[in-house]
Amino acid sequence: MKKGIFTMIAFALFTANVCAQSGILFDPTFPVKWTPASEWEKVQLPKLLKSQIIFVGGEDSVLYLKRNLTPGGKALSKASNDFIGLTPGANSGEFYLSVNHETSSKNDIVGDGGGMTVFKVTRMANGGFTIDNQNFSDGRSGKLFNVEFEATVGETWNNCGGAVSPDGRIWTAEEYPPSTLPSIIPAFGDAYKVKIGTGIIQKQSFLPNGTGFDGSAIKRFQNIGWMVEVDPKTAKPIRKQYNWGRMSFEGGAILPDNKTIFFGEDGTPGLLTKFVADVAGDFTKGSLYVYKHDKVGSDGRWIKMNNSNLNEMIYLSDSAYKRGATMFVRLEWVVEIGGKIYIAETGKDDAGKDLAKGALRGGIVAPHHNVRANAQSPGRTATDPAYTDYYGRILKYDPATDEVTVFLEGGYSSMPMGITETTKDVPLVKYPYVHLSNPDGLGKTRIKGKDYMIIQEDLNGQTYGRLPMELYGINACEMYLLDMSIPNPTLNDLIRVVIGPKGAELTGGIGIKSNTILLDVQHPSSTVAPYLSGQAVTIAINGFDSIADLKKLDLYLSGDVTKYNVPQVAAPLKYQILFVGGKDEVQITGRDGKPLGKAKSKDGNDFIGFTKDNTAGTTDLGWVTVNLEKQTKDYLIGDGGGMVVFKVKESGDSLKIVDQTLPDGRTGKFFNINFAAHVGESWNNCGGLITADGRIWTAEEYPVSSNSALKAAFSDTSDIVIGVGIPETVLQPFTPAVPPIFKDSIIDRHHNIGWMVEIDPKTGKALRKQYNWGRMSFEGAVIMPDNRTVYCFEDGTPGLLTKFVATTPGNFTQGSLYVYKENAGGSYGNWIKMNNNSLTEMINLADSALKRGASMFVRLEWGVEVGGKVYICETGKDNAGVDLAKGALRGGIAASHHNVRAEAQAPGRKATDDTYYDYYGRILVYDPATDKVTPYLEGGPDFATTKDVPLSSYPDAHLSNPDGLSKIKIYGKDYLIIQEDLNGMTYGRLPQEAYGANLCEMYLLDAFITNPRISDLKRILVAPKGSEITGAVGTPDGKNIFVNIQHPSAATEPYVSGKGVTLALSGFDYQASSANSIISFKFNDFTEPVVGKIEGDQIILKVPATTVVKYLKPTIEISPKAEISPASGELQDFTNPVKYTVTAENGRKKEYTVTVIFEDTKPSAVEDANVMKFKVYPNPANEMISFGGGVYNITIYNTSGVVVGQASKVSQYNVSHLASGLYFVKNNNGEVVKLMIE
């Protein structure tokens, strides 16, 4: 997930009665406050929502384990909070949260590489949360727990997205895995090989992996780039999913069958993969597939990969592209909603260049990119270096059609006059109300019975409308909700609910209950604590289920830059900081798995996993797992990426972090996951995956291609023996929990990065890397309700869409892996079946898939399942065509919607042309019923020909680069939670006045809308300056959303550089008033007030015959919480009847007609001396005037109706202060006389 940035008001008639499928009962949309700069320092929310800071990565301390898995005390957590995994607890209102730390850094205390923090929260009566104390079997007791990857499954890397199973299992995604041993050294410190299921050969052994590769020796960097399962209830990793393949994982989505998982690869080209477990819930066995859109065979549009071949799993992309896998442009987060898979295809500015490289490897561009390329310039293809994908999109994979299609294109909600997609700098005055750019995080939440997708942006840039030009440098990220009941949503259907602080990315959005969405504020750069550089903040946003209609959430993008130091949340929502990455201390373990005290956590909070605590009688909500999207060397908390777990419970209307003692002996609140000690270091833990039963996987994004690339983040780059560990180590062995066929396979260290990694949030330990799911730049994944099917998304251009189908529900160590290939036409539908028994094919998944014509997307990031469909953020990329062309050279085929866009940009242009661009991205949807991925909501509006868009031309809503995607159900209706992560600020992604703010926004989108528009987006959060919004996750009851503010750069704590903040939003269950009546209407400027007679919608007032009705000021009383236009006390001309509109709090409108009549015959002129008793002399005058011997209350107006003089009970008045000209003198009887001043 790229670290980057982020209005519309919609009114509708509706009922205030709460019933099934009623959804959000208020409008949460609000405009961005672009200026002044102080607005960039905080989170922006609609006035009806509230947020709570739960966890600040990089600031809060976590309980960590020593490498011998004994308690080590407390240490500062990592930052860059990203994915938030959500695992429900045993009781209502209890949740386990798993927060990814998207980092890859050296940390000897909480673990090298990436990271994760887990904790448990409980909802309080006031809707907020408390973090519960927990006692783990590892000896740790406290609230925040570091997940010890290093001593369990091996260090992680760049823990970005993740996946959550229907039962709450959590996987963290290792993104951007390195490709050489030297590249891991800075974060790991060594490059020893890893023996899967055993450990680092020279040092230690890991937990048994169980995915078939135990005992296989791999290079240290090859142990990065997997999905990693984590147990949020123990804060322990379970396994790296070697059988899911290695790639730049962003995250994944597990279908309700608890067998099928879809993954997207955050790369260009990026793969879409699918793992299908043989047995529901057992993901150690199953089949891995890569999507190939033009394939229709026995596996549909999927290529079956050999996930029993470790080499194929390590080189998954190579194997997939050789077989023509579809190339996407940075597939990031994935979410399953309603049986369909939605994928954030983030986009990439120069997408065409990278797609062209993928085409050389055999990949085939996803058709929508060629469509876009042709739209940019006739004849252009997506592999043309000119092809750009500035905004990205949300893709949809529908199992019924077996096809990936564009669900929602990024860009402008409406194109301002004089602005086009080629406008580089868009001023604030022309900026749209909603602009979806580079969707990244994708989650879901259910509010009042309705599903919503949570979309979080992560801007690839700021130009071309991704930010108004005035905010360049702010990098404002937005988070949206999308009502998934909307059949064909547009950007106007997005509900902006969060705007991140300056510099921060919003990520990890996940709904818990109907009132709360959890969100990570990653890498902020605000000056307001805790949104400071070096910290990441996990927040809970609640109040969704208290609002009658989300469309009443009123959060505007402000031009006031001073507002961007802290998160801005739509009222009545509120937020609570849960965890600050880079500040809070986490409990860590040594490489022997024993407690080692505390250390400062990594930052980069990203994906948030949540695992519900189902323990009978408990008041705890569950475990929260937070990805730390980093790649840093840290001996204490683990090299590479990272993850933090903690437990929460309700405390009034907020959450409380629960003190825990973990099985490894760690005690405290925040617990570091030591990947290095269990599955091998992780990398760039970005997105993730959550099963229905709360299992968690973290996604390793952007895996490196050599060991040398690990050196900055790894202490060593020794080979790894799968299921065994790093043979060179002498400490804790890995536990063999890998696909059995890969046990004892030796792989290069960098090949151990780029997998989905399962962790146990309850123990704070990594469980396994999913080698059988393939290796790619994972951003996220979605597990379908069957608990067998997993869709994974690659954040790359080209990016793959993959599907894993477990042989047995819940067992993901065995199953089949597929890669999406549009129009594949085989026995697997639109899927290519990959050989996930071949470790080589899994390691080189992209190559294998693209060679077989897999569909290429532009940065698939987060996704979410809503209603059986999978919605995916395709983030977009400015030069998408360049990268798609590279993918085409590898055999990939651009997803068809890109070719449509390319043709629209210029007739004849293709998505593989260098000139094809995808500035904004989109939301895609995969519908299993059609087996097709199609655009669901395009980003935009499109300013592609206008580089700098001024604020005066900026639209009310602009969706740019959607990244995070999740869902929340509010009052029976599903909403997508869309979080932006800008690829840039130009071309309408920000108004030019906001260049530098990099503002991210978070929207809600009604998932019921079939064909949504940008105007359907409801903005609910604007992140502080510089931050990305990510990890949003809604609570099952629709009351809260947890969300991360990542890498902020504001000046306000905790939204400062180096920190990541996990927030809890509340207030979604607020029921807005529907009252919209005028109670009284009167004029008080007479001796006796004139009171209007109200009959229905008619109001009549009778005034004295001498009254000049052109200058009357009414006093109006209306229903509580309602608004009226024109306003009470505003001077009006009542010469003719005047229309007044009363708008209820829930947006319901009522119009009144006000008519003024005279008691007697109206005088012919105001100064008619024969009719009026009121006289003013001398006239003209220049000093003192008199009123004919009478005593009056007088008011003097100028010709503009402005009061320039007043006095009470006077017979004279001094006018010497008035300039020469015409004035009107009015007395308390309503009589008016003209007065000339000389």
- The number of CA neighbours under 13 Å toward the Cβ of 339 is 11
Query: What percent of the chain shows pLDDT beyond 90?
Result: 44
| 920-948 per-residue burial string, b: 16 or more CB within 10 A, e: under 16 | bbbbbbbbbebbbbbbbbbbbbbbbbbbb
Helix-, strand-, coil-residue percentages of the chain, each rounded to 5 = 5, 70, 25
Q: Whose CA is closest to 291, among 302, 299, 300? A: 302
* Alpha carbons 645 and 457: distance in angstroms, whole number: 24
Q: Note the pLDDT of residue 738.
A: 60
| 638 and 699 both lie in a single domain | yes
| 1158 and 1177 both lie in a single domain | no
Which phi and psi (to 5°) does residue 595 adopt? -55, 140
Q: Note the pLDDT of residue 827.
A: 82
| 137 and 246 both lie in a single domain | yes
190: pLDDT strictly greater than 80: no
* Alpha carbons 432 and 1005: distance in angstroms, whole number: 17
Confidence of residue 21 (pLDDT cuts 50, 70, 90): low
| 995-1024 per-residue burial string, b: 16 or more CB within 10 A, e: under 16 | bbbbbbbbbbbbbbbebbbbbbbbbbbbbb
Q: Note the pLDDT of residue 1189.
A: 59
Q: Which residues contact 179 (CB under 8 A, 6 or more apart)?
A: 221, 703, 704, 705, 706, 709, 750
Average pLDDT over residues 841-848: 93
Which phi and psi (to 5°) does residue 1137 adopt? -55, 145
Q: Note the pLDDT of residue 29.
A: 65
1177: pLDDT strictly greater than 90: no
* Alpha carbons 994 and 557: distance in angstroms, whole number: 10
Average pLDDT over residues 289-297: 87
Confidence of residue 856 (pLDDT cuts 50, 70, 90): very high
**Tokens read off for 114:** 């990436």
- Taking phi first (over 0 means left), then psi (-120 to 50 degrees means alpha), and beta for anything else, what does residue 1201 get? left
Q: Whose CA is closest to 1038, among 619, 566, 394, 483? A: 483
| 398 and 496 both lie in a single domain | yes
In order of 67, 97, 253, 431, 546, the CA distances from 231 in angstroms are 18, 10, 17, 44, 32
Average pLDDT, the chain: 86
Overall domain count for the chain:
3
Helix or strand (DSSP H, E) at 186? helix 185-188
**277-290: pLDDT as tens digits:** 999 989 999 999 99
Q: Note the pLDDT of residue 920.
A: 95
* Alpha carbons 329 and 465: distance in angstroms, whole number: 19
- The number of CA neighbours under 13 Å toward the Cβ of 270 is 58
- Asked whether residue 4 is assigned to any structural domain, the reply reads no
* Alpha carbons 66 and 58: distance in angstroms, whole number: 19
Average pLDDT over residues 620-639: 88
| 1174 and 1141 both lie in a single domain | no
- Asked whether residue 20 is assigned to any structural domain, the reply reads no
**341-389: pLDDT as tens digits:** 898 899 999 999 999 999 999 999 999 999 999 999 999 999 999 999 9
Q: Note the pLDDT of residue 701.
A: 84
Question: Which stretches of 837-927 are assigned E, i.e. beta strand?
Answer: 855-857, 860-867, 869-874, 877-879, 888-894, 909-910, 914-920, 922-926
Q: Whose CA is closest to 734, among 707, 757, 702? A: 757
Q: Note the pLDDT of residue 821.
A: 96
Q: Note the pLDDT of residue 387.
A: 95
**599-608: pLDDT as tens digits:** 999 888 888 8
Q: Note the pLDDT of residue 204.
A: 47
* Alpha carbons 212 and 307: distance in angstroms, whole number: 9
Q: Whose CA is closest to 97, among 616, 576, 450, 772? A: 576
Contact 246, 220 (CB under 8 A): no
**Tokens read off for 609:** 């996993």
- Asked whether residue 800 is assigned to any structural domain, the reply reads yes
**642-682: pLDDT as tens digits:** 999 999 998 887 899 999 999 999 999 999 998 888 888 89
Residue 1111: which CATH number? 2.60.40.2340
Name which residue leads in pLDDT, 1211 or 672.
Answer: 672
| 274 and 207 both lie in a single domain | yes
**384-397: pLDDT as tens digits:** 999 999 999 999 99
| 1077 and 1060 both lie in a single domain | no
**Tokens read off for 822:** 């549009």
* DSSP bridge partners of 231: none
- The number of CA neighbours under 13 Å toward the Cβ of 801 is 60
Name the one residue in this structure whose structure tokens are 């939670």. 977
1213: pLDDT strictly greater than 50: yes
| 1207 and 1109 both lie in a single domain | no
Q: Whose CA is closest to 267, among 918, 890, 860, 1031? A: 860
* Alpha carbons 537 and 41: distance in angstroms, whole number: 13
- Asked whether residue 365 is assigned to any structural domain, the reply reads no
- Other Cβ atoms closer than 10 A to 1212: 10
**413-428: pLDDT as tens digits:** 777 767 888 899 988 7
Omega of the bond leading into 1104 within 30 degrees of 0 (cis): no
Q: Note the pLDDT of residue 1207.
A: 85
Query: What percent of the chain shows pLDDT beyond 70?
Result: 93
**Tokens read off for 686:** 């970005």
Q: Note the pLDDT of residue 1161.
A: 43
- Asked whether residue 782 is assigned to any structural domain, the reply reads yes
Q: Note the pLDDT of residue 338.
A: 87
Contact 628, 1060 (CB under 8 A): yes
Residue finishing a domain among 1041, 1064, 1087: 1064
491: pLDDT strictly greater than 60: yes
| Lowest mean pLDDT, pick from 497-501, 744-748, 881-885 | 744-748
70: pLDDT strictly greater than 50: yes
- Asked whether residue 356 is assigned to any structural domain, the reply reads no
**Tokens read off for 1069:** 């269950």
Residue finishing a domain among 1044, 1064, 1084: 1064
| 988 and 1084 both lie in a single domain | no
Contact 58, 522 (CB under 8 A): no
**215-230: pLDDT as tens digits:** 888 888 899 988 899 9
Confidence of residue 583 (pLDDT cuts 50, 70, 90): very high
850: pLDDT strictly greater than 90: yes
Q: Note the pLDDT of residue 431.
A: 81
Q: Note the pLDDT of residue 1166.
A: 42
Confidence of residue 1190 (pLDDT cuts 50, 70, 90): confident
**Tokens read off for 702:** 């952007």
Cα dihedral across residues 592, 593, 599, 603: positive or negative: positive
Name the one residue in this structure whose structure tokens are 């009414």. 1114
DSSP assigned state of 1109? G
Q: Note the pLDDT of residue 678.
A: 83
Contact 992, 11 (CB under 8 A): no
DSSP per-residue letters across 796-850: BSSBEEEEEEEEEEEEEEEEEEEEEBTT-EEEEEEEEEEEET-HHHHHTHHHHHH
Task: List the domain range (segments joined by +) for residue 216.
Answer: 30-347+392-876+921-1064
Q: Note the pLDDT of residue 554.
A: 56
**782-810: pLDDT as tens digits:** 899 999 999 999 989 999 999 999 999 99
| Lowest mean pLDDT, pick from 23-27, 484-488, 1043-1047, 1084-1088 | 23-27
Q: Note the pLDDT of residue 208.
A: 65
Task: Give the helix ranges, DSSP H, for 1030-1164.
Answer: none
- Asked whether residue 368 is assigned to any structural domain, the reply reads no
Q: Note the pLDDT of residue 552.
A: 62
**976-1003: pLDDT as tens digits:** 999 999 999 999 999 998 888 888 899 9
pTM for the whole thing?
Answer: 0.54
**Tokens read off for 569:** 């949340």
| 1057 and 1103 both lie in a single domain | no
Residue finishing a domain among 1064, 1094, 1124: 1064
* Alpha carbons 906 and 898: distance in angstroms, whole number: 12
**227-259: pLDDT as tens digits:** 899 999 999 999 999 999 998 887 778 888 889
| 59 and 182 both lie in a single domain | yes
Q: Note the pLDDT of residue 599.
A: 93
| 990 and 1004 both lie in a single domain | yes
| Lowest mean pLDDT, pick from 547-551, 1038-1042, 1045-1049 | 547-551
**97-143: pLDDT as tens digits:** 999 898 888 998 999 999 999 999 998 888 888 999 999 999 999 99
Name the one residue in this structure whose structure tokens are 């009252």. 1075
* Alpha carbons 770 and 690: distance in angstroms, whole number: 14
- Asked whether residue 901 is assigned to any structural domain, the reply reads no
Contact 761, 623 (CB under 8 A): yes
307: pLDDT strictly greater than 80: yes
